[in-house]
Structure 1
């Protein structure tokens, strides 16, 4: 039995198909999202305030502020207590998610003038609120993470985006989500290049200790490159020997390394590796990663394939299962 089969272990027979989980299999996040949906800031605020780790708080905010409608009650909360910095942080993060809801995921040429107007207005509010949060609480990571997204959306330029990335790293040098935002900024679709993107991903991975989740950046760079290629060329790219070797090395240095420790956001990282390894026909490695997930499906990156995310997950999981 190979090392990858041992890592995957034995699994009981599946009785139910996988389903998309907006809470990423995290029961505390599920509870907090329910509070957000109910508009219960009186219960949600102390729960967030009690999170000691800045990276975990940032992840929770990112997932909770995607709940539609939260902009209504948080605006009232800010008006009632403008001095409350955590409330202002939640509001700024929500404004970014709300801005992208207005823009939608359509290509720029298909976004209407009204959608662009709303997108810009909401990003302006987010900028104002998050910069205020950063000034009040210099040690907080979250405002600098969200300000990276705002900078890219508002086309503030590479210098501004880079400054915000560096500010985030001063607070958490291995913050995966901030590295992900920087990688997006360096993508060809945002004015960067494949070469710059790949160099950033590899440098970040090798600069971190073995077992660091930053190995995911190499997988994401190959995924972004694949998305930018026309049909036919994309499959040939991902299944080429150099890319497959790069993906194997990244997986073995990160999620499949003995020193790897699962953090709060680990299921999204594993979903990303599972998908990219499967697309690259690295089925044995992909199976080892799929087996860690217990069929918890995250929306990203499976929506890149179009259609239903859970169905995409199931198709690739099954094609990578041992025969």
Structure 2
């Protein structure tokens, strides 16, 4: 087995080394001769590194602002109606709770009033627990454990068990709502839950919403190497989610997030050179083609997919994703570069050159669907 692995590794290394001169030539062409509009891509001058995708429609912005204004004026009822309006669409319900959490970050007296007025409301109780998790992580910060001041870490460790307990109480208010279970799964890694402790939390979530996007993203984080799993466990988790996802769900994109975890450590190269990963990427692309265009997860997933197609040498599929993305480039992995727009544009240009793409007819021009579908 070791001999086979060694031979495979040597073969992959040879492929990478053989490809390097061609990529350098393509990069030179992309920097000096590439005209994006000739290939159905957004003009270079329109590239926007501030956003992953088009802004929220004017109608949705007005609705969100009205809910926020009412809440800050002490009226929690529009917020309650907004979440309830999602019905049993659990991903949408969670997305609406996310908006309320952002509103509560700027003042949460309205949430206290909501809890008092309707103590049996699972939405309000879930939001309260969710805010405890957000505040715990805000105190801890994103640094490594040894970089966190002891008093901050102590407060962090104190808040997370309280958040889990609050979520458990919220779960008693609605046997079918997965929201409290998403909170528990989110808090588990920071609360230092062992895999044995984590398992019933995950089972509770999966029983209620087996394809919950945010729940799976948080579960993937638990199983990554920096927390309580390994690269192998994380990828296996992501592949199971991908294989079980129904048509129209963005859940296959969890695989892209798992690969991105490796890429952030410069550890994705061997995987992306493999036939297995290339099949997975193509399957993700096919799955994302069935996702409603207004899905909020779609732009960020397309950025990752375009990047991984590009890195793996699948230039024609990468070009297809770049066309769908339009001018937006304010997302990972481009935002890790000093100049995200330049990095994005270079990848577009190399993809055009290496895919041997032909210029599109002038009347076709840059694709506009990626913009029109999301803007109001």
TM-score range, shorter chain: 0.7 to 0.9
Mapped pair 1:115 → 2:148:
no
Q: CA deviation at 1:103?
A: 0.9
Matching of residues 156-167 of structure 1 within 5 Å: 156-167=193-204
Given that 2:285 and 2:305 are in contact with CA atoms closer than 8 Å, whether structure 1 keeps it comes out as: no
Mapped pair 1:286 → 2:318:
yes
The normalised TM-score by structure 2 is: 0.69
Aligned twin of 2:86:
51
Larger Rg: 2
Q: CA deviation at 1:83?
A: 0.7
RMSD: 3.3
Q: CA deviation at 1:110?
A: 0.4
SS in 2 for 1:153: coil
Matching of residues 12-23 of structure 1 within 5 Å: 13=43, 15-21=45-51
Q: Distance in 2 between matches of 1:235 and 1:169?
A: 28
Change (3 A) 1:176 1:240: same
Aligned twin of 2:283:
250
Q: Distance in 1 between matches of 2:239 and 2:255?
A: 6
Change (3 A) 1:22 1:241: closer
Aligned twin of 1:96:
133
Q: Which range moved further: 61-70 or 119-128? A: 61-70
The normalised TM-score by structure 1 is: 0.78
Tell me which stretches of 4 or more aligned residues in structure 1 moved more than 6 Å: none
Q: Distance in 2 between matches of 1:107 and 1:14?
A: 37
Aligned pairs, how many?
Answer: 305
Q: Distance in 1 between matches of 2:135 and 2:52?
A: 17
Given that 1:290 and 1:317 are in contact with CA atoms closer than 8 Å, whether structure 2 keeps it comes out as: no
Aligned twin of 2:238:
201
Q: Which range moved further: 61-70 or 104-113? A: 61-70
Q: CA deviation at 1:75?
A: 5.5
More contact order relative to length (CA 8 Å, sep ≥ 6): 2
Aligned twin of 1:25:
55
Given that 2:334 and 2:343 are in contact with CA atoms closer than 8 Å, whether structure 1 keeps it comes out as: no
Aligned twin of 1:6:
none
Change (3 A) 1:24 1:97: farther
Change (3 A) 1:285 1:23: closer
Unaligned 5+ residue runs, structure 1? 1-8
Matching of residues 1-323 of structure 1 within 5 Å: 10=40, 13=43, 15-21=45-51, 25-27=55-57, 30-31=61-62, 34=65, 35-36=67-68, 39-40=72-73, 41-52=76-87, 53-66=89-102, 69-70=105-106, 72-74=108-110, 76-77=112-113, 80-81=116-117, 83-85=119-121, 86-209=123-246, 212-229=249-266, 234=267, 236-237=269-270, 239-242=272-275, 245-256=278-289, 259-262=290-293, 263-296=295-328, 301-302=332-333, 305=336, 311-312=339-340, 315-321=343-349, 322=352
Q: Distance in 1 between matches of 2:172 and 2:140?
A: 28
